[in-house]
Homo-oligomer: A and B are copies of this chain.
Amino acid sequence: MDQAVRSAAKAATADCDRSTWDAGNCPVRDVMNRISGKWATLLLEALAAKPHRFGELRRLVPDISQRMLTQTLRDLQRDGYIEREVFPTKPPSVEYRMAPLGRSLFGPLSKVLEWAAENHDAVRAARRSFDDAGLA
């Protein structure tokens, strides 16, 4: 287990040498900086289940502002994770759906999401014990 993690770590960092870590040059940063926003994973999770319209997404994630929803969707579309289609209905509606690249990303990403759900209690316990230990 430790072995697997170690080799994975090595693989992930293989073409990202520390001494030459350049912000514009590092794939990990370039990709992570987009999906690591506050809202991106939430929207990918919603769209992984099924396509949704703008208003549906807004209702699904109640505390996102329209501004951030628009912007995050556009960023995800720009990087090829999702697709946007406009239907010329009476009040024009827009549907967002997962693109192949997004679905491919969501494979590994969903594993992290599962980990989060499974280990939430452990994290909260660690947090509590850290806070109780005085150095809050």
Contacts and interface: CB of A to CB of B under 8 A. Distances in A.
Interface of A: 1-2, 4-6, 8-16, 18, 21, 23, 27-33, 35-38, 41-42, 45-46, 48-50, 60-63, 77-80, 101, 103-127, 130-131
Given A8-B111, A11-B110, A104-B115, 11 more contacts: A1-B121, A8-B107, A9-B106, A12-B110, A16-B46, A31-B120, A35-B112, A36-B37, A78-B127, A80-B126, A111-B111
A9 B80 contact: no
A30 B107 contact: no
B13 A110 contact: yes
Contacts of A29: 42
A79 B123 CA distance: 5
A33 B33 CA distance: 13
A2 B38 CA distance: 26
